[in-house]
Amino acid sequence: MSSPKARFTGAQPPSRVRDLTHAEVLRLRDLWPKGGIESAWGHPGDEFAASLADVVLGVRAQRNREIVSREDARAELHRVARQLREAEEMLRTLSPEVDVLLGVEADPLGTADAIKALLSRFQQAEAEHATLYAGTSSAEHERGLMRDVCVQVAGVLRDYGIEVAATAQLDLGQVSVAVRCCDEVGRLGGIPRSLATWRDLLADVRRTEERRGNMPS
């Protein structure tokens, strides 16, 4: 019977997020702490690796969506605003011949005024866009994503009956499975940090979840 897969808080990975390579999956499988050998039915850690892979794909999807949505929105605002300014200028400088061809019912100057009013809203939108992202730095966004990684990795470990210990005695080379899993998922997901950082963040997440009664000790 297969174990539950990770339940990443983000949306399903989009098609443009690449799947993990075989070497990357093996790196995740190497984190399996219960041993076992390859057989005709696969390796005992295959399902475990697949669950961690789901978390990695979720991280990649969120990072990709954040970058694309920010840049696409900013670029679209600039592009449309530029085209509107050009249209306004063209309507205000129509030649008399074109004005006659348009007929008396056309109102190029009135349309230009309407475009000018719309442009003021575009300027507001550009300012709001800058303000929206000014409050959340990329570092803050990534820290929130890292917390999600800790929560999801802890969930995977509990699904497989593995202790979630936020310990890492770096000078002795003694690092818990949970910290090593967070570290590897983070690296593959594009947010590499030190083992000490993952240890401290996982410990903080555990304390928060325990206070809320959402995570077993």
Are 161 and 106 part of one and the same domain? no
Q: Which residue has the tokens 């061809």?
A: 101
Residue 167 lies in a domain: yes
Whole-model pTM?
0.62
Q: Which residue has the tokens 């019912």?
A: 105
Residue 193 to residue 57: CA distance in whole angstroms: 18
Average pLDDT value over all residues in the chain: 82
Give the pLDDT score at 75.
82
Are 114 and 207 part of one and the same domain? no
For residue range 139-171, list pLDDT tens digits in order: 777 888 999 999 999 999 999 999 999 988 877
Residue 120 lies in a domain: yes
Neighbouring CB atoms inside 10 A of 190's CB total: 14
Are 156 and 114 part of one and the same domain? no
Domain of 106 in residue numbering reads as 67-134
For residue range 94-153, list pLDDT tens digits in order: 999 998 898 888 899 999 999 999 998 888 887 776 666 554 556 777 888 999 999 999
Are 162 and 180 part of one and the same domain? yes
CB-based contact 164:157 (threshold 8 Å): yes
Are 110 and 142 part of one and the same domain? no
pLDDT value at 90 more than 60: yes
For residue 194, the SS3 value is coil
For residue range 21-32, list pLDDT tens digits in order: 999 999 999 999
Of 77, 111, 134, the domain-final residue: 134
Give the pLDDT score at 34.
87
Give the number of domains in the chain: 2
Outline where 42-172 has alpha helix (H): 46-92, 96-102, 108-134, 138-159
pLDDT value at 52 more than 90: yes
